[in-house]
Amino acid sequence: MQYRTIVSLLLAVALLLTAAGCLTPEPPAPTPAPTTVQTTKPTTVPTAVPTTKASTIPGPTETLPLQWPLSFTVEKSGMYSTTIITHFDGGKGLMYISRMDVRVTHPDGTVLTNGMAKPKMGDTVEVRGTNGTDRVEVLVTMANGGIYTVIDQQMPYKSR
């Protein structure tokens, strides 16, 4: 008997809640804001596009965590060549390196970048240099997501 009374009361409450939700009036629609019509074209003042060049002056380098040391060698390939070769020598952090990028900034400000994912010991990255003094940056992305600039130096052209 008690079961029928509880079910009846629950059904009556559900019916009242449903009717109350359906019978409430909708709020009035908001009135739209007045719009203005522009009759003349706006004049735009030309702005100068900044012409920034990349710096050829080396900046500070970052130290890798002590448990992940790595070694790199950077050189211009030879007496009459301008190719910059970055050699990955390896280290204890070999398992934790996820990417190696080499960025070369020429004396005129142009920047060339080359890199590789998951480098192995002995891998090299070559980037075209100039017969002037180029800035070479070696950037390493580690497994923890940190990006470290491990080498940032100027590479002069080897003349006779």
Q: What is the predicted pLDDT for the residue at 46?
A: 45
* Range 51-56, long-range pairs (CB < 8 A, 24+ positions): 53/108, 53/109, 54/105, 54/109, 54/110, 54/111, 54/135, 55/105, 55/135, 56/105, 56/106, 56/107, 56/109, 56/133, 56/134, 56/135, 56/154
**Chain segment 89-133, per-residue pLDDT in tens:** 999 988 999 999 999 999 998 999 999 999 999 999 999 998 888
Choose among 100, 103, 88, 93: nearest CA to 153: 103
Q: What domains does the chain contain, in order, with CATH numbers?
A: 71-155 (2.60.40.1940)
Out of 35-44, 56-65, 121-130, the most confident range is 121-130
Q: What is the predicted pLDDT for the residue at 73?
A: 92
- Listing from the earlier edge strand, what are the strands of the sheet with 147-155? 111-117, 97-105, 134-142, 147-155
Rounded to two decimals, the pTM is: 0.63
Q: Which helix (H) or strand (E) holds 86?
A: strand 83-90
Mean pLDDT, rounded, for 19-39:
60
Q: What is the predicted pLDDT for the residue at 2?
A: 83
